Structure 1
Amino acid sequence: MVRFPLLDRTVRTPQALPGELRVRTLIPGLLGAGWRTLRTGGWRLLALYAATQALLLVLFSPLIRWMFTEALAAAGLHAVDSAALTSIMGNGGSAAWIAGLCLLAIVGVGGQLTLLVLAAARVRAGLSLQPAALVRDLGSVLRRAPRLSSLPLVWYLFLVLPLAQAGFFSVLTHSIAVPNFVTGELLKSTPGLVAYVLFLLVIGTLGTRFSLALPIFALGRVSGSRAMRLSWLVTRRTDPALLAAGAAAAAAAFVGGGVLVAGALLPVLAVDLAAPGLASVTAAFTLGAAQVGGVIIAGSFVMFLAAMLIELTVRSLPLLPQDLTLSYSPERAGRSSETTATLPERSRRGRALLTVVVVVPALALGGLNIPVMEGLQQVPQTLVLAHRGFSDGGVENTVSGLAAAAEANADLVEMDVMQTADGGFVVMHDASLSRLAGREESVKDLTLAELRAVTVSDQRGHRDTIPSLEEYIRAAQELGEPLLIELKMHGDETADYVPRLVSELESLDALQENIYHSLDKDKAEELKRLRPELYVGLTMGVAGLAAPDTTADFIVVEEASYTDAVRDSAWANGMEIYVWTVNGADGIRNMLRDNVDGIITDHPDTAVRDRAGMGPEEPMGSKLYDAVMRFVLIF
């Protein structure tokens, strides 16, 4: 039995908070523990972090994608959209594949984070980080994982942590987040803003209050549910200090990231001026170095946090039940001299290993990055579409918003068409008037004349009236602004919704000059059947691994669902791909760099300006900055 010094204690729970858990003592104690662990574990901890991330990326991610493809095939599909989800989960074979890939992801993420906690604990105790010892330790913990009592930990690792913006801990969870289109809609109204802030407060509180669950589970030999309860008990009194120490660690990582960006850009800026012909190659290898540096910073941050959580767990033993002891149960692997070293530069062996784990990957990545940087020479052909007009100049889906989008030089304006109670058409996105007009009525219950008399307003203080489709089309024609018209459904449309819409647009001489899309696959394909010459798209709230089987000419994917695989699949099938709603500065530039066919954004002015600045004449430093922000792990 190998027991940690200072970890194996049985004490009575005191009434008063021990001195070592008081804020003034605890904050420096947590930070000191994190620093000592990093200094002692050095490159070995960082190499372990990098190796686990690489394993998940190279092995687990392809397996999960393959299993998801098999799940689609079992349901007779080769791609997924919102409508296909029911078919997938309703098919026994598909459900089995989905269950299998979920289990694989749980094993991957749970095993990775547990291994990192165990490694930090071994360093703290002065024990070896030999692979065989780590594998034995991990196996002893994972044997308890299949129990039903471990399910709360799964919920914490796969939902709470990612939604609390901590998904960067693992490459398999970094993309789990509230989709931008959801947060974007919430932030457009005061009640939505309040709801979103409350959500962040709740999810953040859960994230910190359960933060000791994994260390207690891994080191304390308790069930997952009990580990969750004990974490909640302890952090009730230590949460402020933990938050403060965590904020300090995050600030240090942020500063490190800033230094990394500056260090990557300066050489390329110099080469831009002195030898422009070498700029792309220089940028490629600088990006490779930055990618390795990003792994180092991210790994240091993760291991620093793990060490702080272990320290807090140790200090909190007086608050925990007397029967709880924190220990390992592998055979003694022996003390290892590697854990007594500090920085690897202090030994010849350390310098050699440092070269292997840092310099070699940086050079390899640099070579792979050369075509990436050279590919950024092209001028993006991406269309910029103003999402429901331009909200900086008018209320969404109003004539004033349309005019503002035209003034911002948007290539097209995306807008929504909804049917009224008397079969007419208005330009409106929401089925209810509550958000924009403060009224509880629904569009489907009001006539065209009644809706046109409604005044709508937004948080910026803009006011306008709901326009009819005819009014909006006439205004767009006068402005010379083509439209991407979305067929928006509220559920009570007439059976001839699509023919009616086509007839009205024809009467306005506007059918051929605009393009169309819809979330409703049946409506989009009905429009394409009715008028094959029209350019029609299928909007996908959830995209899978490939473009769907559809007669549409293009797909519109939500930004969180956009992947290289979906884009390439669409192009391979002769379809274009538009991405919505792309509002972040980095997101806009990423889509332009990928040269997607169109981006739908609330900030068309920014997108138009960024597109104009890209191309062969653009300084390589600007291109490198975008690449660093996209491909370096900590960003």
Structure 2
Amino acid sequence: MTSTARPTAPDGLAFRRLVPGLLRAGWDVLRRGGWRLLVVYALSQVIPLALVSPLIHWMFTQALASAGAHAVTSEAITGMLASGISVTWLAGLCVVALLAVSLQLSVLVVAVDQVRRGAGLRPRILRAKLLSLMRRLTRPGFLPLGMYLFLVVPLTQAGVFSVLTHSIAIPNFVSGELLKSTQGTLVYASFLLVAGTAALRYSLAVPLFAVYGVPGGKAMRLSRRATARTFPALLAAGGTAAAAALLAGAALVVLTILPTLAADLVYPRAAAGVAALALGAAQITGVAIAGSLVLFVAGMLLELVDRNMPRLGLDGQSGERIAEPVAALAPPVTRSRRKVTAALVAGAAVVPALILGLINIPVMEGLRDVPRTLVLGHRGFSGGGVENTISGLRAAAAAGTDLVEMDVMQTADGGFVAMHDASLARLAARSEAVADLTLSELTSITVRDQFGHADSIPSLRDYVLAAREAGQPLLIELKLHGGETGDYVERLVAELESLNALEQNIYHSLSLEKAEELKRLRPGLYVGLTLAVAGVASPQTTADFIVVEEASYTPAVRESAWADGKEVYVWTVNGADAIRSMLRDNVDGIITDHPYMALADRSSMGPGEPMSSKLYDAVMRFVVIF
């Protein structure tokens, strides 16, 4: 009988040695690179933001224009995909963004490598590296790595951040729906686990490509091999670095608010100015914290590559590293020169902080206004009953919501029920579809949610009558499952008129056709168009307001809608900071699963609110803490 000994990792790759080794490497990068590396990081964010973002925006507007649209709607997206010219613009946009992100992150890794080698951040060397990277980025073999950097890394926020990809995320309306069932939660968690694992397993591909000149596809394969045994150590070290950054961010929030809190107590008239200056300092410091984490992670990845070089067949190779005597690159620094440098660095940090502080003064003054924002319960209030049921409606009314948002679907026999899902799988554990069952069949079915609530599916008639009894106005969504009758909108209007409830409520739909048909049939109704994806501008429509998904909401869309005389509602806004941010923006309405929270926040805002509270919201909005 023979036994096979399990191969052991080299001593330098053992978990107990590797974790502290990676952390030391990251810290050494920050210690040795200091403010110079942070300047490189800041430039790597500012330049794409100033040059690439406007180019991407212009290319997207050209894609829209080629499809005969000027704003993003479901119809506009369909039109763009059907237009060869629009598709060409979109493809070019993706190429520009992919190359910009890849170059941005690769340059950061190269800069960190220069610091690790003691070569300093000499512009000549960085320029030569930049030109070399630009050539290699255009080769076909780079595409797998580019897609990893452009999609996988932003989705998981795996310690490498770019202003060009910060909006790439799973939309809240998708994740929110998944989290409303056990099965959906498992699917969502599994996706995050797989994506996060992939992000870490391929994380060494960037230094292999940028520093050692390994082609993109091969760099990914080598990274997967190198992290096969070191994955736990990389995860532990990365988690430690992220935790340290979060603690630094929390400390920044506290230190930012304290001076304004003191002003609130001692001299309230000066609180707005103090808050503005504190916010400017926090913005600069927040960038430094984010940059430090990125550079720290880059140092860890380069250290892990160096330790794996023999296993990867790269031992003794220097790739495209430019070998120059360290002494020639880093002459001795005198004490007086250090003092001058420190003074210049301090000035370089203080000046932009002061400029931002002056810019922030009108921002802080503007936060004195009382929000006019309406609070709408999303499908009722899930804290008191199943969504789109009468118990959920009554719970929302008891919470004090201004309106309740609900969904109406047509049944097989032409009736209407309050229901969001086209299938009964999530709420009733049944395989039937709403479109295949009659009104009486559907209203006899019991639905249950993840909180243990149970109720029956209500007919539209019963739901509307219960809303009237509770004194609760409704935002009724015309929800489509694809099997509606041709006179769907006419039948809905007739049923609501028979209940004397048509003009007492307002309406919206994801379908531009249905929203505008309803507006055409009854011009006096208040009708909205719902946008699952927005951007650029408000769409041209006869609808009175737009309902924008939270991830797609932008000030540009809001201002465009207001300029067109349309109100702006945002859905589904559930995060505490997101709710307060929308209230501060004074959007016309927020649709939320937590109406009690939004109502409490709204009532606390206004002229009598401490400036420190307003500053907290501004910090959480303008300073990104990773």
TM-score (norm 2): 0.97
* Aligned CA distance change for structure 1 residues 309 and 280 (closer, same or farther; 3 Å): same
Give the structure 1 partner of residue 442 of structure 2.
451
Partner residue of 1:420 out of 411, 417, 421 = 411
Give the structure 2 partner of residue 156 of structure 1.
148
Partner residue of 1:552 out of 530, 543, 557 = 543
Q: 2:481 aligns to what SS in structure 1?
A: coil
Give the structure 2 partner of residue 237 of structure 1.
229
| Residue 581 in structure 1 maps to residue 572 in structure 2 | yes
Partner residue of 2:291 out of 289, 299, 319 = 299
Which runs of at least 4 in structure 1 moved beyond 6 Å after TM superposition?
A: 339-342
Separation in structure 2 between the aligned mates of residue 211 and residue 616 of structure 1, nearest angstrom: 49
Post-superposition offset of 1:357: 2.8
* Aligned CA distance change for structure 1 residues 386 and 267 (closer, same or farther; 3 Å): same
The residue type equivalent to 1:125 in the other structure is R
C-alpha contact 2:103 2:133 (8 A) present in aligned 1: no
Partner residue of 1:404 out of 383, 389, 395 = 395
Post-superposition offset of 1:159: 1.0
Separation in structure 1 between the aligned mates of residue 75 and residue 331 of structure 2, nearest angstrom: 54
Partner residue of 1:190 out of 159, 163, 182 = 182
Post-superposition offset of 1:133: 1.6
Post-superposition offset of 1:144: 1.3
The residue type equivalent to 2:577 in the other structure is D
Separation in structure 2 between the aligned mates of residue 498 and residue 514 of structure 1, nearest angstrom: 15
Post-superposition offset of 1:167: 7.6
Separation in structure 1 between the aligned mates of residue 512 and residue 331 of structure 2, nearest angstrom: 60
| Residue 125 in structure 1 maps to residue 117 in structure 2 | yes
Q: 1:283 aligns to what SS in structure 2?
A: helix
Partner residue of 1:265 out of 238, 245, 257 = 257
Higher relative contact order at CA 8 Å, sep ≥6: structure 1 or structure 2?
A: 1
Note the aligned Cα RMSD (angstroms).
1.8
* Pairing of 1:573-612 with structure 2 (within 5 A): 573-612=564-603
Partner residue of 1:113 out of 96, 105, 111 = 105
Separation in structure 2 between the aligned mates of residue 556 and residue 27 of structure 1, nearest angstrom: 48
Post-superposition offset of 1:18: 1.1
| Residue 518 in structure 1 maps to residue 509 in structure 2 | yes
Separation in structure 2 between the aligned mates of residue 300 and residue 346 of structure 1, nearest angstrom: 24
Separation in structure 2 between the aligned mates of residue 350 and residue 240 of structure 1, nearest angstrom: 40
Partner residue of 2:361 out of 367, 370, 380 = 370
Post-superposition offset of 1:346: 8.0
Post-superposition offset of 1:321: 2.1
Separation in structure 1 between the aligned mates of residue 336 and residue 147 of structure 2, nearest angstrom: 41
* Aligned CA distance change for structure 1 residues 470 and 306 (closer, same or farther; 3 Å): same
C-alpha contact 2:153 2:160 (8 A) present in aligned 1: no
Separation in structure 1 between the aligned mates of residue 327 and residue 558 of structure 2, nearest angstrom: 52
Give the structure 2 partner of residue 50 of structure 1.
42
The residue type equivalent to 2:527 in the other structure is V
TM-score (norm 1): 0.95
The residue type equivalent to 2:53 in the other structure is S
* Aligned CA distance change for structure 1 residues 81 and 345 (closer, same or farther; 3 Å): farther
* Aligned CA distance change for structure 1 residues 456 and 341 (closer, same or farther; 3 Å): farther
Q: 1:273 aligns to what SS in structure 2?
A: helix
Q: 1:599 aligns to what SS in structure 2?
A: strand
Give the structure 2 partner of residue 313 of structure 1.
305
* Aligned CA distance change for structure 1 residues 397 and 168 (closer, same or farther; 3 Å): farther
Q: 1:464 aligns to what SS in structure 2?
A: strand
Query: Which is further off, 207-216 or 49-58?
Result: 49-58
Partner residue of 2:618 out of 605, 627, 630 = 627
* Aligned CA distance change for structure 1 residues 144 and 251 (closer, same or farther; 3 Å): same
C-alpha contact 1:433 1:440 (8 A) present in aligned 2: yes
* Aligned CA distance change for structure 1 residues 341 and 247 (closer, same or farther; 3 Å): farther
Give the structure 1 partner of residue 267 of structure 2.
275
Post-superposition offset of 1:633: 2.4
Post-superposition offset of 1:143: 1.2
Give the structure 2 partner of residue 84 of structure 1.
76
| Residue 26 in structure 1 maps to residue 18 in structure 2 | yes
Separation in structure 1 between the aligned mates of residue 551 and residue 331 of structure 2, nearest angstrom: 42
* Aligned CA distance change for structure 1 residues 45 and 340 (closer, same or farther; 3 Å): farther
The residue type equivalent to 2:54 in the other structure is P
Post-superposition offset of 1:332: 4.5
The residue type equivalent to 2:144 in the other structure is P
Query: Which is further off, 68-77 or 510-519?
Result: 68-77
Separation in structure 1 between the aligned mates of residue 59 and residue 520 of structure 2, nearest angstrom: 34
* Aligned CA distance change for structure 1 residues 167 and 565 (closer, same or farther; 3 Å): farther
C-alpha contact 1:128 1:335 (8 A) present in aligned 2: no
The residue type equivalent to 1:155 in the other structure is M
Query: Which is further off, 312-321 or 399-408?
Result: 312-321
Give the structure 2 partner of residue 99 of structure 1.
91
* Pairing of 1:329-348 with structure 2 (within 5 A): 329-330=321-322, 332=324, 335=327, 347-348=338-339
| Residue 496 in structure 1 maps to residue 472 in structure 2 | no
Post-superposition offset of 1:349: 2.5
C-alpha contact 1:385 1:600 (8 A) present in aligned 2: yes
Give the structure 1 partner of residue 477 of structure 2.
486
Post-superposition offset of 1:409: 0.5
| Residue 430 in structure 1 maps to residue 416 in structure 2 | no
The residue type equivalent to 1:139 in the other structure is L
Post-superposition offset of 1:100: 2.1
Aligned length: 621
The residue type equivalent to 2:212 in the other structure is G
* Aligned CA distance change for structure 1 residues 338 and 504 (closer, same or farther; 3 Å): farther
The residue type equivalent to 1:96 in the other structure is T
Q: What is the percentage of aligned positions where both structures have the same residue? A: 62
Give the structure 1 partner of residue 374 of structure 2.
383
The residue type equivalent to 2:170 in the other structure is V
Q: 1:45 aligns to what SS in structure 2?
A: helix
* Deviation by residue 1:185-217 (Cα, 9 ceiling, x = unmatched): 001001001111111110011011001010011
* Deviation by residue 1:189-248 (Cα, 9 ceiling, x = unmatched): 010011111111100110110010100111222210000000000101100111111111
Separation in structure 2 between the aligned mates of residue 215 and residue 190 of structure 1, nearest angstrom: 39
Post-superposition offset of 1:333: 9.1
C-alpha contact 2:368 2:606 (8 A) present in aligned 1: yes
Q: 1:257 aligns to what SS in structure 2?
A: helix
Q: 2:406 aligns to what SS in structure 1?
A: strand
Give the structure 1 partner of residue 556 of structure 2.
565
Give the structure 2 partner of residue 207 of structure 1.
199
* Aligned CA distance change for structure 1 residues 33 and 168 (closer, same or farther; 3 Å): closer
Separation in structure 2 between the aligned mates of residue 446 and residue 339 of structure 1, nearest angstrom: 81
Partner residue of 1:141 out of 133, 140, 149 = 133
Q: Structure 1, unaligned stretches of length 5 or more?
A: 1-13
The residue type equivalent to 2:556 in the other structure is A
* Aligned CA distance change for structure 1 residues 438 and 481 (closer, same or farther; 3 Å): same
The residue type equivalent to 2:239 in the other structure is A
* Aligned CA distance change for structure 1 residues 594 and 254 (closer, same or farther; 3 Å): same
| Residue 351 in structure 1 maps to residue 342 in structure 2 | yes
Give the structure 1 partner of residue 520 of structure 2.
529
Separation in structure 1 between the aligned mates of residue 239 and residue 506 of structure 2, nearest angstrom: 48
Give the structure 2 partner of residue 10 of structure 1.
none
Q: Structure 2, unaligned stretches of length 5 or more?
A: 1-5
Separation in structure 2 between the aligned mates of residue 167 and residue 314 of structure 1, nearest angstrom: 20
Separation in structure 2 between the aligned mates of residue 135 and residue 593 of structure 1, nearest angstrom: 44
Separation in structure 2 between the aligned mates of residue 444 and residue 595 of structure 1, nearest angstrom: 39
Give the structure 2 partner of residue 9 of structure 1.
none
* Deviation by residue 1:245-296 (Cα, 9 ceiling, x = unmatched): 1111111111111111111011000001111011111100100000000011
Q: 2:480 aligns to what SS in structure 1?
A: coil
